Amino acid sequence: MRKMIGKMILFILLLSVIAVPFSNTEAAGNTVYHVKLDDNVEKGLYAYLKRSFREAEEADAKAIILEIDTLGGFIDAAGQIGELMDDTEPEIIAYINYRAISAGAFIALHADKIYMSPNGKIGAAQAVDGSGKAVEEKSNSFWKAEMVSAADTFNRNSEIALAMADDTRDFPQYRAGVGKLLTLTAREAASKEVGYSEGTVSSFDELVGLLGFSDSEIVKTKVSFAEGIVRFITNPIVVPILLSIAGLGLVVELYSPGFGVAGTMGISSLLLFFFGHLIAGLAGYETLILFGVGVVLVLLEFFIAGGIAGALGAIAIVASIIMAGANPAYMAYSVLIALAVAVSGMVIIMKFFGRKLHLLNKMILMDATDTESGYVSNINRTDLLGKRGLAITPLRPSGTIEVDGERVDVVSQGSYISKSKHVIIVKVEGSRIVVREFNEKGENE
């Protein structure tokens, strides 16, 4: 097991090395960086953009051309990217090559200049939740203020930005009305009335020529292997799946002999989860420390009775996972899904495989002494019902009688019966035999 954990650590270190590709600084001062922003806007994308912008600054680049084609993503990730763009020294030129929708529109507004392809579109930036419905007014109010602030910072019409995020704004000249979000075409964005685009170009090369960068070296940044893994791992759809695999794998491993595939999958899933969130800047080392403390407490539970250490350990582990994400509410939701999967797996294991599993057999007595297997807890003496006997000890109310030469332990039906009295057996309940006094004439005493 130690060798396996060592290999996992080496694997994580290798990924960390791959995550930092060599910077191209040979043509410092005469370079233009071409950075693509496509697919969903999430924390993994932020890590890639941060690295690309840092390289551009170190190379003293003339400008960064950010090619955008996205339908949006997460507000918190878009906010971080917007701050990153504001803090980056080289000029950032957004080239909307087809779509800058929702969070993509917000990011484009943080560029110093915006150019669009002939089929480019920008807008429809209302904040929505995971089901596609508009978020509550408190969160939406903040997002609308962010859109307005981004437009004002770069001297763009803030009313247009607000109409992209607020469906109560009416811009009938651009097809938007009450109940509709504003989305601008390339021609509309470049109009004097709007002024959101500095021009329309048919290709990236045409844009380079238009900006006067034909003689500059174009450095195209690419998502590294590790950054690709990070973008995949931190995807909100993947996170609950990854945690579910971790929980289910560890549960199966607990009930299996030795350390095998299930345990390896569980530990690897947790390592990947924390690795991805560390590289993306979502988690700090304090989350790893808290997770480690939780694991130690859970292990102590095997040696210390009481359940307190185990409970505290479980709380620490769950808290560390929630802290590792950008959105605590969503992370809590993901943890609940993982717990439900783990519990369901445990129930299935105990129901169908319980007798065959190593740890379960040590913890729980699986054999049952039932009647079908030939086991009988006691003899039911129904054959004695109605028989008469003689009390050979006083019944207070328990004692012993003799029936057909056999000594039988009995109890009286409530009253005291002295020794040598005749009795009759009136009830048999398993090993409990009840008698009452009976005289020789057949009358009850």
pLDDT in tens, 217-243: 999 998 877 777 777 887 777 888 888
Inter-CA distances, 73 with 34, 107, 130, Å? 22, 11, 10
Look at the block and give the residue holding tokens 């990730």: 77
Look at residue 34 and tell me whether its pLDDT is greater than 90: yes
* Mean pLDDT along residues 399-405: 90
Residue 410 has phi, psi (to 5 degrees) of -140, 175
* pTM for the whole structure: 0.61
Q: pLDDT by residue (tens digit) across 4-29? A: 545 555 555 555 544 444 444 444 56
* Mean pLDDT along residues 265-281: 80
Give the model's pLDDT for residue 115.
97
Look at residue 367 and tell me whether its pLDDT is greater than 70: no
What is the number of other CB atoms lying within 10 angstroms of the CB of residue 401? Answer: 26
Q: pLDDT by residue (tens digit) across 72-99? A: 888 888 998 999 999 999 999 999 999 9
| 349 or 319, which is more confident | 319
Give the model's pLDDT for residue 373.
55
Q: Find residue 220's DSSP bridge partners.
A: 34
Give the model's pLDDT for residue 103.
93
* Mean pLDDT along residues 334-361: 70
Give the model's pLDDT for residue 259.
60
Structure tokens at 103: 């969070």
Nearest residue to 59 via CA among 34, 85, 36:
34
- Kindly give, in sequence order, each residue whose CB lies less than 8 Å from that of residue 375, ignoring residues fewer than 6 positions away: 369
- Kindly give, in sequence order, each residue whose CB lies less than 8 Å from that of residue 166, ignoring residues fewer than 6 positions away: 126, 144, 181
Please state, rounded to an integer, the average pLDDT across all residues of the chain.
81
Please give the share of the chain, as a percent, with pLDDT higher than 70: 79
Q: How sure is the predictor about 360, in pLDDT bands with cuts at 50, 70 and 90?
A: very low
Helix axes 225-233, 261-279, angle to 10 degrees: 100
Nearest residue to 105 via CA among 90, 89, 116, 91:
116
Please give the share of the chain, as a percent, with pLDDT higher than 90: 33
* Mean pLDDT along residues 168-181: 73
* Mean pLDDT along residues 248-254: 75
